[in-house]
Structure 1
Amino acid sequence: MAPSKEKFTKTASKDIQIRRAPGSSKDSTNNIGNHFVTYEWKDYCPEVFRSIREFGDIDDTSYILSICSEEVLSKIFSSGKPGRIIPVFNDDRFVVRTLQKSRAKHLLDLLPSYYVHLQKNPATLLSITYGLHMVKEAGGHKVYFAVHSNIIPLEANAFKVYDLKGSKQGRKPSQRVFDEKILLKDLDFDFRFYLDPLVRERVLAQIRYDCELLESKGMMDYSFLIGISMRDSSRGFETQFSCEKNVSPRKSVDNSRLMSASSYAFDDSFSPRGSIENESAFHNRSSISSSLQEIENIELTFGDNLRTSDSNNNLGMEMPARAVRINMGTELPFLGSKRKEEGYEVRLYFGIVDIYQSYSVAKRIGKCYKSLKYDSKSISAVNPKLYSSRFQNFLKEMFLPEES
């Protein structure tokens, strides 16, 4: 059964204890003997996210053990500015992203419509959100974070990873790292990809459906994350870029980093410390009332839709394509070009990420300021309708039909 409307406005609080390695610099005097550290933990909409995880075949116990490791929590608290991407090395299915409280609220506002969208679109290219949490170390500050599907898994062996928005202004590489590689951006993107025409049609149609949801909810500034992997390394495509400073050798997963269940201790088997409670200050009921109405109209459960054939649900995962590199600083060629260019067989991993930014007052002010210096249509902070249109047009030019 689909979660009831009330379950979109509830939280569950608990205390958790994590075993910390002996001799850790963070050990407190009270923990020298047993090396356990207690954290305050809060789950937002736990039953809703549990439903999403269940039909993704994600067991609750493995999920908790993966995201509650000492390594992940230490990175969460040392992440600094919100927005950091933290790979979960002991479980390649997940990535963690720290959030500002405002972003966490936007996630909750979107959640009812997002849930319905997953229901109707099992092949969605939106990153799957498996949980929203708050964690607080004793005497420390609160950190909000979300757990998402890992769009580009370790086994993909991607040698290039791009974060693309379809705008050029300010889109230079940053120091953000994804899977030990610098996350490249639009100004460094110099590829186009040829897909089977029917596959291209399906991909662009799903992108349109996904963008319609985000546009209707006033979201913008999302990105298209794409990783490029070789289908046949003997062709030498990857070698061509091996000397570029942004490409680092792939590190294998160190088995010593895998944490066993015995490394953790949860009070009351990780059960809520108290009864599930409302957090009205965090939830804006009026902003999601229309979305909640959609829940009542669901006729099928997740199981009916998400347990369809795998062939319908693999968009963005190991998709074969022919990659052609273009000159830096040039626009993508017209779709009508008849010239057959040499390319390299690749596999693509991609999806839409960072979907919880609304067109806020700050974004509107930023748009006005940048519009004084640049073309208002070229900057990232534009209204959701324009952003969606520009984003889709960019991807239509990036994914071209392969001619027979």
Structure 2
Amino acid sequence: MSSLSCGIDFGTSNSSIALAQNQTISLVPVEDAHVTIPSAIFFQQVDNKAFYGRTAINLFFSRQPGRFMRSLKRVLGTPLMKQGTVVNGTAMNFSNIIASFLRSLKQKADAGAGQEVENVVMGRPVHFVDNSPESDARAQDELREIARRIGFKNVDFQYEPIAAAFAHEARLTGEKLAIVVDLGGGTSDFTVIRLSGQSVRKTDRTSDILANTGVRVGGNDFDKDLSLAAIMPELGYRSTYGDKNLEVPLKPFHDLAEWSKVNFLYTPKLITQTRQLLHQSHDKRRYRRLLSVLENETGHALLAATEGAKIALTDQEMYETPFEFVEEGFVVPIKRRLFEDAIRLEVEKIVTSATQCLRDAGVGNEAIELVILTGGSTEVPLVQSEFRRLFPNAAVADENKLSSVGLGLAYDSQNKFGSHVAIKA
């Protein structure tokens, strides 16, 4: 078996691929010089040609005709995998769509290696789907089948938080009892693990991994919560209509606040219904904005602006979010306090899952010496403060937030498929 191998971190929001070759592990540039790529696809209307990452995002937001998709990982293990979708008038299977994106990563790795890469360790969340072992197993099987279809002969899996731990372990000089906090776009995963610079050559780490937990909550859920709390009310969310003061249908607003559901909203039926309700609306100015978003298909732009506000509120106490594409002069000021209140229940679920991981490992908070933060959502101030409160005695490592999982998966791949190599960031 060839010792050349790679690790793929197929994320809900961002993805990366790293090679294990010639005694070195290194991230592969996947979009120009970038070693991470947004998990986004744009199919141009004229011929359904696919574009990926930042290119896809730029094509979509420059209003090029076509179909834009994000958060594809969340479809794995769900009925949508079989149902498929319509892309520019053509029925398309989600398995083929995901394969298209992952094939583009593999091609970059093959080019970087100078030969075809046949061995891969795919990252996976602790739970693709909460409280459904059957759906969880199906999601992994679907991802395995896709990996084989795009040219990998040997496919293995590793939990993403364990991979993040492996990436940090190579730089440790002593021994540490660590918890990995991996907050991605779609899931939050935790691992309590014993780390040591002397353990990097071990192929079996079963005795070092004390516990894993995970919950299907991530940065996309923060976006949705923020949207429903601060932005959707400005589009008529929870407003009323008609003589009986009935509440407007809520489903369009909830779907408009979720990356994976926006594309299903632009139907003649929903647009007609929204026009009819506008005539009876008690808040025509705001509800007209919803109609504008549906008619002009600017739901993804709305979510992108929401995500931008979330990121801005990492450093700012208040941010004025612009929505000029909806209505001239339309700006929504959002305070960090409102954002934190909106996501508090989600953060509680995340903390509960981390606490369960400690319980499963049989260790107390005070025993943790190192907290490894990975994933973009660990930047959120409320998340940071909660985990620093939970582990007041631990050192915090948060470098390479978006690429540590990919590096760790490649490190795991060399342990599984080849000889020991050194990590190069």
TM-score by length of 1: 0.23
Which of 1 and 2 has higher RCO (CA within 8 Å, sep 6+)? Answer: 1
TM-score by length of 2: 0.22
- Of Structure 1 and Structure 2, which has the larger fraction of its residues in helix? 2
